[in-house]
Structure 1
Amino acid sequence: MPSGGGEAVKGRKRRSRRRSRAQREDAGRGELVSSSVQSAQQCLLQQDYGTAFVHFLLALNLAPALKDLAIDSFRFTLLKWADELDGVGRIQELFDCYEQALELFPKDEVIINSMGEHLFRMGFRDEAAAHFYKALKLKPDFPEAKENFYRVANWLVERWHFLMLNDNGRNRKYQLAIQRAVRDGCTSVLDIGTGTGILGMCAKKAGASEVYACELSKTMYELACEVVSANGMADSIKILHKKSLDMEIPRDIPSRVSLVVTETVDAGLLGEGIVESLIHAWKHLLFPPANAEGVPLSNPSQTGRVIPAGATVFAMAVQCPEIRRHHRLCVSAVGGLDLSAAGHIRSPVRCSEDADESSEPYTTERLSRLPGGFAALTEPCRVIQIDFNNPQELEGLCLREAVQLRVPVIQDGDVDALAVWFELHLDQENSISTGPDEDTCWEQAVYPVPSHCSVKCSDELLVDVSCRDTYLRVSCAGVTSSSSSRLHISSTDEVVSAEVPSNPELELCSALAGLQTHHDCPARSFTLDSSEIVLLNNTNYHECFRKAMAKLLSFLEAQEESSSSSKPLYVLDVSEGFSVLSLMAARLGPVRAYSSVEKQQHQALLQLLARENGAHEDALEFWLGHVEDDSAVLQRPDPEKLWSAIVLDCVETCGLLRQNFMEKATLARCLLEEGGRIFPERIVIHGMLVESDTLLQESAVQGTEPTLGFNIAPFINQFTVPVHVFLDLSTLECTHLSDPAELFVLDLMDTNNNYTNRDVWVRANTSGKVTAIPLWYHIYLDSDVRVSTFRPDSHWKQVAVILQRPLVVNAGDQIKLSVQFHKSSISITAVREEEEEETLTR
């Protein structure tokens, strides 16, 4: 039929034109893809990573089939471009690039992990952890993601969560107090700062009809939701991801509740904001207390109650060399440097009147585990008592005038700190003590005394107590002695006389001394972190460095003399934080020393020490002022000169090896003159087999018994990390099952000596159960001079690798430790000799 044929012809013609057009489009697209790929590669050669990234995006969007071939080049380009954007603060563009990359490669573990690293550096810990966790799910043996996740897990789920959940006594007392309150008619419950949700689940199990909970941490909120669901309570406990201070009725909960349960208390009781959150709860979320006017006592469901009901805080003065060396300069010289010109070096942990916002009023320690122990110089005294069920008292707490207590001294000594703990009164029958003699999951709060303060048995210590800014502040105000002279600590942290017996001769001497004092030029004071103060107090470390550096410089000077050259030697110190190593090098010969310290206060202190120690004004410079960004800190001192020595900071204070320090060493070697050296040149890792229930308790939740039968362990133990940091091996409760052994060697001067894994056989000399392998380092500054991170005067702590499954051993057994090193991460597996032989014969 004509009409039909005509349509058919027209149809064929249309199809023909489409094929022709498609062919031309395909050819054009192919040319564009090819051109974009070539342009991207050319830009890579020119290190124009931004333009290369744009070309790769275009090519891969047009030709997805190229993804597998181009993935390595694309990753490299993305990571380089992201680092550039990060370096110049173009943060939004940085994350836009990652989003574009993930649209192309949504399951690429390298890109996901790298984005997590940028998020973590910018403080987005929850989001960073999610990326590291996702990368590990995609590739469980991905070492970079594994190391990143382990590091961030310590931030997201702090180690005290494990201790708290393993503290059966604490959990049981909370459960009893909640059961009693619900039985008394408190049937609507709000759990503030729910954590894993255990207290809210206790309330529901006790018979509460309505249970609500809130949690600010995104990680802990998601964890609580998982736990509550796994325990069959998802429909009966409503969990909110927000601060209780942001909660409103009826938006978040339908009406006021009759019971608030919380454990938002830290070692200093008030540091987690419990007062502020309870004031808000009493005003907006909780029924009035039973003792309030107009509240009918006959209807307990319409009255409010808080668990814990209150707390009593105690304090005592202690002498403790370990606290002293972390918060006060205890030496007058290190490595040949006179430190007396530094004025007053003080810790940021202080609650004196002149303390700024960056200061913390206290730090925390487990006093029973401090190396060298402590001596109690006073009896414990009650410093404050707080009733959490009295809203008026809570509101007036911060307005109270500071109270001064007179505390009798019971032993001669030097007051290094005031140790503070509390008794938490859950209700009339159940209390929890956090004292240093208690078996508890809490540490104690430590308020360091900023300057030397000696007391005798007949003295009285003057202690000021206040709750300014809702922090509990406890400070040593002075000493009253039996001779009636009264001393106080001034705002400059010096002990001065406030009232003395009349003595004309003493007054004359004082007046003469005053004539020689320049009142318009007060002594400078510098604030260093406690990790920097304890490093400065480590005389052995500085003396070993001085000795090794002097040997190297003498050798290089001899070389210069033999070549008739008079150029100075160049030394670069890239230590983290405050370091005097550059200044020590500057005083050892014709040296131009460069320090990478960044803080202006640190630079001022180094310059002051340089002047007072006779260093030439040109001998010390601050290197970061010479480079464009931190990534270029390792570069030539000038185009014609290489470094004589580069000091790398390889070990963190917590005991971990610093990230990427081996990569830095590789770059540093390329920048050394002939005969030059990296400090340290070698790190030898040592360890031993131990059995320690303490490490197990602090590393993971042990079953369901301590958690009142609730199923919590599988969920929170996802955040278990295999390496326990900030360990004091000298005071760890453990049984040594072997002698120390050399496990691994890292050579920073010769890469040919390095390896990635090593098997070490260790003999068990005691029967037991191997639960962990503590590690420490011998840091060789040269072939002869070394320092150990396991010394009483060390500023470093130790770490311990926790075995996934404890290994039962008998005395005489040979244990094979398989040690793997990737970048800065150490992993260890252990197997008995018999099991190794069984595996080999299978």
Structure 2
Amino acid sequence: MPNASARPKHSRRTRRRRREDPARNELVSSSLESAQQCLFSQDYGTAFVHYLLVLNLAPMFKDFAKESFRFTLFKWAEELDSVGRIQDLFDCYEQALELFPADEVILNSMGEHLFRMGFRDEAAGHFHKALKLRPDYPEARENFYRVANWLVERWHFLMLNDHGRNLKYQQAIQKAVQSGCNTVLDIGTGTGILGMCAKKAGAAEVYACELSKTMYELACEVVTANGMDGSIKILHMKSLEMEVPKDIPHRVSLVVTETVDAGLFGEGIIESLIHAWHHLLLPPQIPSVNNSATGRVIPAGATVFGMALECVEIRLCVSEVGGLSMAAAGELRSPVSCSSEPDDSTEPYTTERLSRLPGGYKPLTEPFTALNIDFNNVQELEGLSSREVQQIRLPVIQEGELDALAVWFQLHLDEESSLSTGPQEDTCWEQAIYPVHSFALKPRDELIVEISCRDAYLRLCCVAVLRDGHEIRLDKRLDSRHSGNPISNPNPEAELCSALACLQTGQNQTKDFCMLECSEMALLNNQDYHQSFCSALEKLISQLKVKCRNQEQGSLAQSDLADSANSTDRSDLLYVLDVSEGFSLLSLIAASQGHVKAYSSVEKNKQQDVLKRLAHSNNIPEQQLEFWLNHMEDEQGMLQRPSREKLWSAIILDCVETCGLIRQKLMEKASLARCLLEEGGRIFPERIVVYGLLVESDTLLLESAVQGQEPTLGFNIAPFINQFTVPVHVFLDFSTLECRHLSESVELFVLDLMDANANYINREVKVQASSAGRITAVPFWYHIYLDQEIRVSTLSHNSHWKQAAAVLQQPLEVRAGDWVHLAVKLHKSTISISAHWETGSTKS
């Protein structure tokens, strides 16, 4: 420790006191006054420039002006954002951070802009800095959790916790290295585990590449913590951009990778391996040539399997929604294309874990082999996209509704070891789902499936059914693009019906198709949701009509009947605003009640066309439906009066995200909406009640954090990747979640959207354990009350919503009868849950 009592040394020259500069002081004073005047007149751009000048010339004003400067920055940033001046926006934040580099509020705000614009890695860095400066800053913590879900997807935890998968990869790499593969490249290294396996197996040189900045930095930390920072070179780049000798000194003898998705090719493994064989790998082994300097790939290849199935969860089936006939909607397509024709605007499949689907699934065919691929044969890789379309016939084994083709694969690591992603396997993988236009199949039918790889994806398409010698086309096209003639049909009536079906879905169908997200399709299938809204709206509108008639009769008693006839031409109209996210029919349901002008927040032109067609076909006058301010970028701006004279009779808020969380800024929107309601008007929903219960679930633990070093083969990875653990796990299906219930369900929290005084920000709930076990999580869901009597549950069997769960950092051991205290907190619109216990024996 320095000698605190030592006398200070005198320098040769004493420091002169800085002279006052009157001109400088005058400039600072006038600029500060101008900044405050501009702020008062809401000229935020000019105010920001004046504040910059003041704080650069006179840093002593920083503490005094900090709050005003922040406010000015945020308001000016909003204006810049609204007119698309994104570079100017970030320049302003950079200038602000030069003045206040340790201001957690400015760091967090800049992170929010970065995240919203898709710069997730950069956003994470700003949120992380803000949290380091102030660990208890709730906005930065919630934002960091949001971005963590994007940057480190939950499958990373499942994959790293999969000891069997990790061990098989390690054994295959060890065999390859010991057989002479002494230089290794790990493509898409993630946490670096495969590269470390190669180094531990004795490889002389190990290189790795990773495109994600977050994962690259994580891999560097992991490799350093495991004592390999000097022996594994990690590059922050795509393998497709790598060159020899610019990035690595020479070609390697082994490439290891797991850049595969549920549909095998979706992460670009074919393209990256073709590039590797041409530029980064030694030539493959040729059987007739004795050459030890050869290259190889782990995994060595894959076999793809498929199966036709019935599954209500996947089916898109809407004929009537909330009393509205959907016949005029045209074709509603999900972003997943079930066509055999490549389409850059859509992906050919979505993903599901079949073992967890509510209601399960029914196999309609036996599993079939769709494709074999050898990753060590570059000619085969290059010829994949030009392979002829393969057509196979699948015997139908039981009666059912054809909803989709499910696909999985076996990844062959080498000649002896493989990994399966099948629906019956205990695996971290989901299956690829190729939706099909639903069709009722019977035993003895044969399903004709086309398989192709015409672009970056494996594509499967059900094109026809063979029944009693007749071909029934499922792709809804009978033209020259399809090779082969229809099978001769002895039943002309069946042939006529088939032809009519094709005509029915011909030219108009192509013209009238509309793209909806999978979540929007699922919402349309939620009949209870729409029927409940229909009933609640009908009830409210009936009440308001009665009130209007009573007021009208009162006014008629005081005025001349002839004059009032003209003045009340539109006075009985009620105004309803639907600010739901995405495609919504609620505005149309409101307009169908009569004497209602409904405003929809649907923005996409094709979706607006669908609503217009549905309005026309359901006899809803065109003028009773309006699309509200398509050009407005700020969704808060939609919450305005419909006209100068009127207030809203009802405002419909979209309260719960499909993933199971309360929507951000819900409470702020509700506060604004309450100010815009007419007397007797209502926000829908008016109240949300949160329910939950205690569970023991190893599955949730495995999906939320890496559980120690044992599953990761002794490598120290958990502390680094677990920085990205989030306390709330989303997109759960509680009906299929593997867990033990340790309590009854209880009410956790209430959010009242109509009465601000009824709300609170924290609550402690006591829950009694009904069984002994380890509490690992608290799953929660919502009862959404549209009024006092009508409610919708996000836990119902036909709900389009998933559930969420608060996962405890440390499991809590309880015995039957113990009382567990749950601390439930609401910050803005985010709910957090923590737990501690009190034994039954100590309870008085």
TM-score, structure 1 normalization: 0.93
**Structure 2 match to 1:538:** 526
Secondary structure of the structure 1 residue equivalent to 2:244: coil
Question: Which residue of 205, 208, 211 maps to 1:210?
Answer: 205
- The correspondence for 2:428, drawn from 441, 457, 461, is 441
C-alpha change, 1:492 and 1:356, in structure 2 (3 Å) is: farther
**Retained in 1: the 8 A contact 2:819–2:840?**
no
Q: Does 1:487 align with 2:481?
A: no
Q: Letter of the 1:245 partner, please give it.
A: L
Residue 400 of structure 1: aligned partner: 387
Where do 5+ consecutive residues of structure 2 fail to align?
1-13, 553-567
Deviation at 1:835, TM superposition (A): 11
SS in 2 for 1:350: coil
Alignment of 1:434-833 (within 5 A): 434-449=421-436, 451-481=437-467, 483-490=468-475, 498-499=486-487, 501-503=489-491, 524-564=512-552, 566-625=571-630, 627=632, 629-833=634-838
Kindly state the Cα deviation for residue 292 of structure 1 after the two structures are TM-superposed. Answer: 7.0
Distance 1:167 1:402 in 2: 36
The answer for unaligned runs of 5 or more in structure 1 is 1-14
> How big is the shift at 1:352?
0.7
**Shift in alpha-carbon separation, 1:782–1:176, aligned structure 2, 3 A:** same
Matched residue of 1:252: which SS?
Answer: coil
* Matched position secondary structure for 2:314: helix
- Which of 377, 387, 391 is matched with 2:374 structurally? 387
Per-residue CA deviation, residues 773-804 of structure 1 (Å, 9 max, x unaligned), is: 00101111111111010011101000000011
C-alpha distance in structure 1 between counterparts of 2:498 and 2:838, whole Å = 75
One-letter identity of the residue aligned with 2:386: L
Change in CA separation of 1:791 and 1:185 when aligned onto 2, cut-off 3 Å:
same
Residue aligning to 1:4: none
Distance 1:555 1:836, change over 3 A: farther
Q: Distance in 2 between matches of 1:552 and 1:186?
A: 74
Query: What do the CA deviations read for 1:669-721 (whole angstroms, capped 9, x no partner)?
Result: 11111111111111111100000000000000001111010000000000000
Confirm or deny that 1:228 pairs with 2:228: no
Q: Which residue of 1 aligns with 2:19?
A: 22
The CA deviation at 1:500 is: 5.1
SS in 2 for 1:800: strand
Q: Distance in 2 between matches of 1:520 and 1:626?
A: 29
Q: What is the CA deviation profile of residues 206-237 of structure 1, one whole-angstrom value per residue up to 9, with x for unaligned ones?
A: 00001000001110000000000100000000
- Once the two structures are TM-superposed, the CA of residue 119 in structure 1 deviates from its matched residue by 0.5
C-alpha RMSD of the superposition: 2.3
CA distance in 2, matches of 1:567, 1:341: 29
1:317 to 295, 299, 308: 308
Please name the residue that 1:9 is paired with: none
Match of 1:91 in 2: 86
Question: SS at 1:624's partner residue?
Answer: coil
Partners of 2:301 and 2:160 in 1: how far apart? 22
Deviates more, 1:407-416 or 1:236-245: 407-416
C-alpha spacing 1:808/1:254, structure 2 compared with 1 (3 Å):
same
Displacement of 1:567 after TM fit? Answer: 3.9
What residue number does 1:198 align with?
A: 193
TM-score, structure 2 normalization = 0.93
| C-alpha separation in 1, matches of 2:510 and 2:661 | 40
* Structure-2 separation of matches of 1:770 and 1:509: 59
Q: Deviations over 1:131-183 (max 9, x none)?
A: 11111111111111111111111110011110000001100000110010011
Q: Indicate how the Cα distance of structure 1 residues 207 and 87 shifts in structure 2: closer, same or farther if over 3 A, else same.
A: same
- Asked whether the equivalents of residues 351 and 359 of structure 1 are also in contact (C-alpha less than 8 Å), the reply is no
CA distance in 1, matches of 2:335, 2:524: 15
Task: Give the partner amino acid of 2:701.
Answer: L
CA deviation after TM superposition for structure 1 residue 470, in Å: 2.5
Residues 40-74 of structure 1 show CA distances to partners (whole Å, capped at 9, x for unaligned) of: 22222222211221122122222222222222221
CA distance 1:766–1:377, shift in 2 (3 Å): same
1:37 aligns with 2:32: yes
Secondary structure in structure 1 of the residue aligned to 2:800: coil
| Amino acid of the structure 1 residue aligned with 2:777 | A
1:411 aligns with 2:405: no
Q: Is the 8 A contact 2:685 2:753 kept in 1?
A: yes
- Does structure 1 retain, via aligned residues, the 8 Å contact 2:478–2:502? no
Structure-1 separation of matches of 2:786 and 2:703: 34
Aligned partner letter, 2:240: L
**CA contact 1:424–1:433 (8 Å) conserved in 2:** yes
Quote the offset at 1:316 in angstroms. Answer: 0.6
1:501 is displaced (CA, Å) by 1.4
Q: Which amino acid aligns with 2:349?
A: Y
Check 1:516–1:443 CA distance in 2 against 1; reply closer, same or farther (3 A cut). closer
* Residue identity matched to 2:280: L
How has the CA–CA distance of structure 1 residues 741 and 506 changed in structure 2, closer, same or farther, with 3 Å as cutoff?
Answer: closer
Structure 1 residue aligned with 2:131: 136
**SS of aligned partner of 1:820:** strand
SS state of the match for residue 714, structure 1?
helix
Question: Does structure 2 retain, via aligned residues, the 8 Å contact 1:553–1:589?
Answer: no
Q: Deviations over 1:566-597 (max 9, x none)?
A: 24111111100000100110111211111011
Number of matched pairs = 809
